[in-house]
Amino acid sequence: MTDDAVCPVLIGGRWRPARNPRRFFRAVDPSTGMETAGLYPVSDASDVEEALAAGSAAAPGMAEAGPEAPADFLDAYADGIAARAGEIVAAAHRETGLPEAPRLRDVELPRTIDQLHQAAHAARDRSWCRATIDTKAGLRSRYEPLGGPVAVFGPNNFPLAYNSVAGTDFVSAIAAGNPVIAKAHPCHPAVTRILAETAFACLERSRLPRAAVQLLYHLPPDVGLALVADRRLGASAFTGSRPGGLRLKEAADKAGRPIYLEMSSVNPVFLLPGALRERGEKIAAEMFGSCTAGAGQFCTKPGLIVLVEDEAGRRFFDLIQAAFAGAPAQVLLGESVLSGIRAALEAMTAAGADIVAGGRAPSGSGFRFENTLLRASGDAFLRCPRPLQQEAFGPVSLAVLVRDGGQMAAVAAALDGNLTTAIFSHSGADDESLYGELAPILLTRCGRFLNDNVPTGVLVSPAMVHGGPYPAAGHPGFTAVGFPAAMVRFAALRSYDRVRAHRLPPELRDENPTGTMWRWIDGEMTRGDAAGAAQKSMR
């Protein structure tokens, strides 16, 4: 491919040129600010229309293929990614500035491969569909595919693990039996193209429809809004900024289409007095590392640190301020991140916060910003809680120094919803009373609650929750990480009322189709057969 070659889109089971592109774009190496090779189209409505038609036509075939077919595809895709690991990591590094090692090669790539295998296992196991049988009433229900394609909008900060054609939303939708229309993030189109090539090669050898995976690189805002509102779409998933997410949500809601969002979070951390007296220096090192990991471009970065301004609190603050001031600036993902930081700092300082470390973009090529720490009093925060708890995506955190535990609880009560909240407490009983006051407040304001641990790092585990109340996410009842729970977002709950046995889905017939899947039969969770459960209830 030459530098000026326009990359094809993947629509309807084939790679082809975009029909009527609005314009073209190149990715930018954020470490230098220079454009990279490859020209990518911004698709218009005609590409989206064809993708929707192909995805809609593929949906019945996806459902009829059964759970083994998507599971086999996901396992093969994981192996394909592993085979092209060097190429994928190099492209991701070039487009994001994230280090090849350990971040991309040793952490994010293995996680991406692992979540493909985990989703494949969940699809084969079938317990995720929550088959429920009431033998007396003749009612049976399960979660099953939506009947239409899922549109996935990927973010800029995880080019592999959250990629629109390999990340958790993509994997969950495929494992649940739905086709996917992937919309790449314009910050890393090359790595997305490589992943889509790998996926499509596996798809051609699978039992799934060839339009089960489609790729568009970029869309104008009006076309993206029309996509999520289209009634042929089963659902949408978006990870990114709050303004962009809310515009998509408004369009989807007006049309009655489901959309799952991960938008913004400051992930507040409450440092209780006993903890800082006991191990303030250790906590300061952990907090600085968490705040600045990946240049602060994690959705779980602690953007708000709350502590009491006593002797231990002041000592902690001095330590973390020195850490922020002494570390070099890191590469940001792009110019939009830089402009977002500047806008957030302007709003936060106008609301009463002071910049005490960093606050500038160093001169030179590429996109960088100094590690930045702000300080505000508890009184200032309670006067203007909204601007002082906005997400500053990047190496920026705000420390709120409160008078006492009572004001700390007032700050907690003023918080919006977040992906995470954390409390650091004394290893003994020194902070027990204050912990007991704060925990009930904070638990209602997050999806994941941590004690004595920083929030960066999201383990792909069945027990993980990566979601939370608005504005962290669009709905507090779902998670974007963790199988099988993440799959339920892209499924419809359907009941079968006295449907003849041979017409039921295998998961709802009397005999357990795998012998190992869990089903809820006549009020009992069991791996047994429904007939056996019915006979047991008659004894």
Residues designated catalytic:
262, 299
Q: What Cα–Cα distance (Å) separates residue 80 from each residue in 202, 265, 460?
A: 8, 34, 20
The DSSP call for residue 102 is: I
Question: Within 13 A of 148's CA, how many CA atoms are on the CB side?
Answer: 17
Residue listed under structure tokens 């070099």: 328
CB-CB contact of 438 with 409 (8 Å): yes
Q: How far apart are CA 313 and CA 388, in angstroms?
A: 20
3-state secondary structure of 109: helix
The first and second tokens of residue 355, run together, are 């910049």
From CA 91, how far away is CA 105, in angstroms rounded?
11
Query: What angle do helix axes 109-125 and 168-175 make, rounded to 10 degrees?
Result: 20
CA atoms within 13 A on the CB side of 315: 13
Structural element, H or E, at residue 214: strand 213-216
Structure tokens at 367: 């996109």
Which residues does 467 contact at the CB level (< 8 Å), separation at least 6?
A: 262, 419, 447, 473, 475, 476, 478, 479, 480
Distance, CA of 42 to CA of 363 (rounded, Å): 32
Asked whether 306 and 400 are in contact (CB, 8 A), the reply is yes
C-alpha 200/C-alpha 390 separation (Å) is: 40
Give the count of beta carbons closer than 10 Å to the beta carbon of residue 362: 11
E runs forming strands in 300-370: 304-308, 330-331, 354-357, 368-369
